[in-house]
A and B are shown apart, each in its own frame.
Chain A
């Protein structure tokens, strides 16, 4: 099963390993990212930070078999780098039945982005894409760590409109 799909610009780091994995009881982490999968340095660095008892897979997005992950007995935390990665995953077999919950963790600032939570800066196009995903049946929340209160899509929209 895939209890959580997380969007995180930094992919694997402390919040994921120290906060989310224990909270979800996750037994496997899958990083679906082309750039990371193709960089030997990134692969070496990521295997470095994952405790040995947790299997970590770093794969190109197109190579991830979402159906198999959803059907397996392993509890999988799936990581993508950005909202675009999320959208691509849904065109390649990620459905609400397989992974109901999408979490926006860290989306860093860049020109043209507006803050919707302290750690998430969105563009208008990304917000539209998230609305389409919600319409398709995904539940969408933003928060960095599980101890924070989740921020739902309606609130994200309101904050985006209010932000400059």
Chain B
């Protein structure tokens, strides 16, 4: 018993709404049930079994929204076997329960704290030195990677079930993330330099002072944040002290 490609595509589309009704009780439960519904409709002709299947997917679920595609694919993989009578109804649930935490960690560690900030920093540097086309390019590139992985994970989960873990392991996401983070930091450093050059550029004759202000704000800010200073107070303090310092010394950022 297998479902058609069309139905799978429908599930994948709905998977993009996974967090539409995110709530503390069931987290992505409603989103997961919404996403898998077309597959269950195709698999269970008997309305009683269909409802029973949908009800089991309304239980607690939470994962990284991209990585959840793998679990959604795998849940359909198991539901096909449940519908065929090869597995008990609990099989898709234990699959979901086992994988959600670890895959969420992989997704958080790769997409949210490495890939997206890396492209964010790249787009920010691009905006500073090349303007909006660089931003468009960075966002497109990010989504090329993002959608490819989302689709690959969904397909691998559907076709391979439990073996999707091996597929994900082969992607070596934590190792790639490590490199992306370091590269992202380097981009932030380059962005600081770009800011300093822009600041000095608008005020000929005061190049060194402008570079010093930016460097001092970046350096002191980095140390303060590393010591645990919260972001908002730090931002206000730096912006206001820069302003006050300039007002007191009479330097107005112009020649």
**A interface residue numbers (CB < 8 A to B):** 10-14, 16-18, 39, 41-42, 44-46, 48-52, 108-109, 115, 118-119
Contacts and interface: CB of A to CB of B under 8 A. Distances in A.
A14 B26 contact: no
Contacts of A49: 102-103, 105-106, 109, 174
Interface of B: 24-26, 60, 62, 64, 95, 98-109, 112-113, 162, 165-166, 168-169, 174-175, 178
Contact of B104 (A10, A42, A119): A10
B113 A18 contact: yes
Contact of A39 (B98, B101, B106, B168): B98
A94 B106 CA distance: 30
A109 B98 contact: no
B168 A11 contact: no
A10 B71 CA distance: 15
Nearest to A35: B98
B162 A41 contact: yes
A13 B108 contact: yes
Contact of B108 (A11, A14, A46): A14
Contacts of A17: 105, 108-109
A46 to B, nearest CB: 5
A18 B24 contact: no
Given A41-B165, A49-B109, A49-B174, 10 more contacts: A14-B64, A16-B105, A17-B105, A18-B109, A18-B113, A46-B101, A50-B174, A51-B109, A108-B25, A109-B24
Q: Which 9 A-B pairs have the closest CB atoms?
A: A14-B108, A10-B101, A49-B105, A45-B102, A13-B101, A109-B25, A49-B102, A13-B105, A49-B106
A48 B108 contact: no
Contact of B102 (A12, A51, A109): A12
A50 B177 CA distance: 12
Given A41-B98, A41-B165, A10 B62 contact: yes
A37 to B, nearest CB: 12
